[in-house]
Amino acid sequence: MTIEGTETPRFARWSPDDGIDKVLVVTAHPDDVDFGAAGTVAAMTSAGIEVAYCICTNGDAGGSDRSISRAEMAVIRQREQRAAAARVGVETVVFLGHPDGRLQASIELRRDVSRQIRLFRPGRVITQSPERLFDRIYASHPDHLAAGEAALCAVYPDARNPFAHPELLADEGLEPHTVGEVWLMSAPAPDVIVDIGATFDAKVAALGSHASQLAPDFDAAKLLRQFAESVAAVAELGDGGLAEAFRLVATA
């Protein structure tokens, strides 16, 4: 497996003493964060950083069992995501409830993500890339692209602008907040890596919590290890290294 756009990689390596103590993860679906960033989340919470999840959809379009009603699937997936979050030290999981499979980077979604930013007041937002990857199309589900676009719009300019979504301030008393940086998952030309050697098992456990989405013969540990090793190799972490990669966007 390869990491897109990394022919001549130059990576910064994350350190827990970078001054950021709160991180908000914004994704489209339950399980997205566990595929893309759960090792990083576990590393951050282990270092005392508070991490919260904002899931844009209710997850009701997931799974392949047609005998399960869509309303029941939404309940199952949200329960699974909370269990997965607990595996990596995350207590706060908010579901915005937008329709799964029909997510759009609408004004309403931008407002809802902005609300969570103003409530949680993170220094960093981790979200999905709004850019489509043609070499690895599975990362570019339309809902992922929409979540990433809405999150970036919420970070800049909405959440920091007192005149954007004025009801957040006038009716809910939520003061503007400026997020210093965004990390994009599955983005072209990643430039930040996180060593997840110590938290890889927690990542596997988190993904394994999503039983409704995984085939019985799916080897989560094998797939995740292959990808994490490929990231570590490109970042020159050495033999046996495991890592996750992101594209850093400065937004302050």
The three-class DSSP label of residue 15 is: coil
Residue 3 lies in a domain: no
Q: What is the rounded distance in angstroms from the CA atom of residue 23 to the CA atom of residue 181? A: 10
Residue 113 lies in a domain: yes
pLDDT for res 19: 95
Residue 92 has, within 13 A of its CA and on its CB side, a CA count of 17
pLDDT for res 126: 98
Mean pLDDT by 10 residues, the chain (252 residues): 48 95 98 97 98 96 89 95 98 97 97 98 98 84 97 98 98 98 95 97 97 90 95 89 97 92
Name the residue range of residue 136's domain. 12-250
The three-class DSSP label of residue 239 is: coil
Contact between 228 and 200 under an 8 Å Cβ cutoff? The reply is yes
Residue 5 lies in a domain: no
Residue 1 lies in a domain: no
CATH number for 111: 3.40.50.10320
pTM for this entry: 0.94
Residue 184 lies in a domain: yes
Q: How many domains does the chain have?
A: 1
Residue 4 lies in a domain: no
